[in-house]
Amino acid sequence: MKRLAALASVALATLASIALATAAAGDPQSDYMLQCQGCHRADGSGFGESVPDLRDSVGRFLEVPGGRAFLVQVPGSAQSPLSDARLAGVLNWMIERFGPARVAAGFEPYDAEEVATLRTPLLDVAAVRARLLAGIAESP
Amino acid sequence: MIRIGCTLIALFFTAGLASAGEPDPATPEGDPTRAEYWRHCSIDGFPAAACGGTASSCPPGTLMSPISWIGTCRNPVDGKRYILSYNDCCGKGPCGQAFAHRNEGDKPVYYAQKSNDVGWCMGPADAVYNSTVSIVIGVEAEDEE
């Protein structure tokens, strides 16, 4: 099984090398690659219980009270070296890229001013996330 | 697991540190088995290519970490900066070859996601560190901001 996983990783890496993404520095995809992808991975699948899976998930935080601020306040966002404008851009890109589609289709994009207002690191990320996930679980 | 232990092992195994120098003139882009190879500009460890793998694949008997740290390096041939994923190869003891202590873009460990002192042998690849691949995943264009 481990061998298969290793081969799959190599295959994916090779494919990624072949189909190089050309991204301008400062554009959202480039910022995702440089600031987020190492842990959240190219497909947003994350890493077990350590790194959240973004797929059909990240946008759901916009559907519960406090969730919009949470996405700006998680450590990877609030403490990133990105400017407020670029953080807004990469958050918008992630919601559009990873969905869910119903949220991505109609959400109000972040902008630099809103990010600047919300950008305060959380003292207890896990507790806030658990509360928001409970709200998401109860929402339709 | 912090890579500090690995670094000490590396110092034991190798005669000297690699300088952040120019590529090997023998090939246009240099020699991936050497620490000076352009793609290794952010490695703090052993290039997989010097350990039985390649710049993009792990040595036999090791497993590539699914998560990584990401940096950029300038290709001396075309002058462009490329985005690279530094995935660790795990499951065998430290390779000990061609120790690269090159830290372009490296941040202190309190910025864990941007620090090459952090070991990435976790999850399915939860094992001892062996070496590191330098996989090109994108091209970085000129910064517009």
Q: Residues A14-60: pLDDT tens digits?
A: 444 444 555 555 689 999 999 999 999 999 999 888 889 999 999 99
| Distance from chain centroid for Cα B34 | 11
Residues 6+ positions from A47 with CB-CB distance below 8 Å: A39, A40, A41, B66, B67, B122, B123
A87, A89, A79, A75: which is closest to A128 by C-alpha? Answer: A75
- Is the pLDDT at B19 greater than 60, yes or no? no
pLDDT for A40: 94
Judging contacts by C-beta atoms under 8 Å, the chain A residues touching residue B124 are 2, 5
* Closest in A24, A33, A47 to B66, CB measured: A47
> Alpha-carbon distance A26 to A105, whole Å?
23
pLDDT for A22: 57
CA distance B143 to chain A (A): 5
Instruction: Say which residue, A18 or A72, is predicted with more confidence.
Output: A72
Residues 6+ positions from B134 with CB-CB distance below 8 Å: B32, B37, B39, B40, B43, B47, B55, B56, B73, B84, B85, B86
Question: By percentage, how much of chain A surpasses pLDDT 70?
Answer: 81
Instruction: Say which residue, A22 or B36, is predicted with more confidence.
Output: B36
Residue A41: closest C-alpha in chain B? B67
Instruction: Say which residue, A104 or A71, is predicted with more confidence.
Output: A71
> Alpha-carbon distance B108 to B52, whole Å?
30
- Is the pLDDT at B145 greater than 60, yes or no? no
Q: Residues B73-95: pLDDT tens digits?
A: 999 999 999 999 999 999 999 99
User: Please, what is the average pLDDT of chain A?
Assistant: 85
B-contacting residues in A 97-116 (Cβ below 8 Å): none
pLDDT for A49: 83
> Alpha-carbon distance A94 to A115, whole Å?
15
pLDDT for B79: 92
Q: Residues B41-60: pLDDT tens digits?
A: 999 899 999 999 999 999 99
Judging contacts by C-beta atoms under 8 Å, the chain A residues touching residue B122 are 47, 50
Task: Please state whether the predicted TM-score (pTM) of the whole model is above 0.90.
Answer: no
Task: Please compute the mean of the pLDDT values over residues A77-104 and round it to a whole number.
Answer: 95
pLDDT for A5: 41
